[in-house]
Amino acid sequence: MNIFRLAGDMTHLASVLVLLLKIHTIKSCAGVSLRTQELYAIVFATRYLDIFTSFVSVYNTFMKLVFLGSSFSIVWYMRYHKAVHRTYDREQDTFRHWFLVLPCLVLALLIHEKFTFLEVLWTFSLYLEAVAILPQLVLLQRTRNIDNLTGQYIFLLGGYRGLYILNWIYRYFTEPHFVHWITWIAGLVQTLLYADFFYYYFLRFIGGRGVE
């Protein structure tokens, strides 16, 4: 564990807590894409299949349970909770996210480190996570302005993988044979997809107005 990875995990944890806070306290999911949340639930479900077979550390297992629990409960809230469900703008959140799942699965079957069930699904989760934010970014453009909590959620979610990139650079120089091209490229693509969001998000800080 290094400071970059810890900062990345804490940033990721903060992003799900901000979203849960928004949905649970103000009972609203306005501006939040259910499709992105569903993709993230699939990402965690396919990435953490090893939670019962391989034990890394208490921290690792605890964080996996937190990410699994929070992503599925957010989907539950947005789909079935009577008050929250009403604030979900279904008409705007129309990105065909299932069209993202199949190509990622095919790509994972073609490009992976080992051809085993767990490894292919793990690789699938990497590819899917890289594009999982797309429905949310499209929704953001459609709804124009967004509230602070949603903006902070996206900012933290985008930032965590960027911190992971620093972690991979650090591990590459400190651990022999630490080379995982698939993880690195997927993580880079994921972070680059946030580039324009970061641009407008920082403009907000400079201009002191809502995220346009």
* List of residues contacting another protein (CB under 8 A): 5, 9, 12, 50, 53-57, 60, 63-64, 67, 118, 122, 164, 167, 183
CB of 67 to another protein, least distance (A): 7
Give 64 or 85: the residue with its C-beta nearer to another protein.
64
Question: In the bound complex, what is the minimum distance in angstroms from residue 18's beta carbon to another protein?
Answer: 18
CB of 11 to another protein, least distance (A): 11
Q: Which is nearer to another protein, 21 or 118 (CB)?
A: 118
Nearer to another protein, 13 or 26 (CB): 13
CB of 5 or CB of 81, closer to another protein? 5
Beta carbon of residue 115, minimum distance to another protein (angstroms, whole number) = 15
Tokens of 14: 């903060």
State the CB neighbour count (10 A cutoff) for residue 118.
14
Q: Which two tokens stand for residue 41?
A: 């639930």
